[in-house]
Structure 1
Amino acid sequence: MNLLEYMKPLSREELEDFAARCKTSAGQIKQVAYGHRRASAALAIDIDRETKGAVSCDQLRPDIDWAYLRSRQPSAA
């Protein structure tokens, strides 16, 4: 599912709530959904989290090597 498909059935209030949980505005979500703007890495992660993976960060930002980031072990500092 892409972001536009996810967001289309949402009411205005639901979209506003979704955007707030993603730490952005409904307008920004629409810009990304319609392809007018690219999601930042942080926004892509927030959208992935808030859609419970229905809209993946991999789909939103295919230019980022998410597999590499997922495979990294936390460094012992």
Structure 2
Amino acid sequence: MKFFSEKNFHQMIALYYDDRSLERTRQWLDSLDAAEKEGVSGVEGFMYTTWFNNDHYDDLEKVSDLIKQKYPNRWPK
């Protein structure tokens, strides 16, 4: 994130990658919080990503709920 921030690129983060525990989603969001404290900017959104033949799109609600509940500043108002 820092590399692209220093180049003034707008960034999107793909949060999911089929980790049904949502741990990677938490890790990405925590990493973004830490990076922003170090001056990283330009991350403008998140992308829900699944790689298993569209089988895990039912988890989209779980990811959304996690962001709304644990990272409310990341959810649009």
Q: What TM-score, normalized to structure 2?
A: 0.28
Which has the larger helix fraction? Answer: 1
Asked which structure has the greater RCO (Cα within 8 Å, sep 6+), the reply is 2
Q: What TM-score, normalized to structure 1?
A: 0.28
Which has the larger strand fraction? Answer: 2
